[in-house]
Amino acid sequence: MTTKKKLKLAIGLGSTCSGCDIAILDLGGKLLELIGLADIVFWPTAFDFKYSDLEKLKDKEIDITLYHGTIRTTEHEEIAHILRKKSKVLIAFGSCSCFG
């Protein structure tokens, strides 16, 4: 019997109202299903992840990153570049990151 490998998921943020984080948390039971399919390797709003944890990951180690919020500071830009480097796929998630 083979077990399916779980996806590695990250949720990154810039300058944000955190509405996207709330929308994810509002998934309720569906969020538990998601956790069954994916390991959340970075989500500083919901878990005690540090940026140093992100930097320790190998390039392209994260399967999918959802990035919400705008890039307003050099720190936001730096984190967005790190997430892009560490992720196979980076998705602009929510109105702020899609439309500014």
Query: CB pairs under 8 A, 24+ apart, for 69-72?
Result: 69/13, 69/14, 69/15, 69/16, 69/20, 69/94, 69/96, 69/97, 70/14, 70/15, 70/16, 70/96, 70/97, 70/100, 71/14, 71/15, 72/14, 72/15
The per-residue pLDDT for range 55-100, each reduced to its tens digit, is 999 999 999 999 999 999 999 999 999 999 999 999 999 998 888 7
Q: Considering the chain, what is the average pLDDT of its residues?
A: 91
Instruction: Identify the structural domains of the chain with CATH numbers, from first to last.
Output: 7-99 (3.40.50.700)
Identify the pLDDT of residue 1: 54
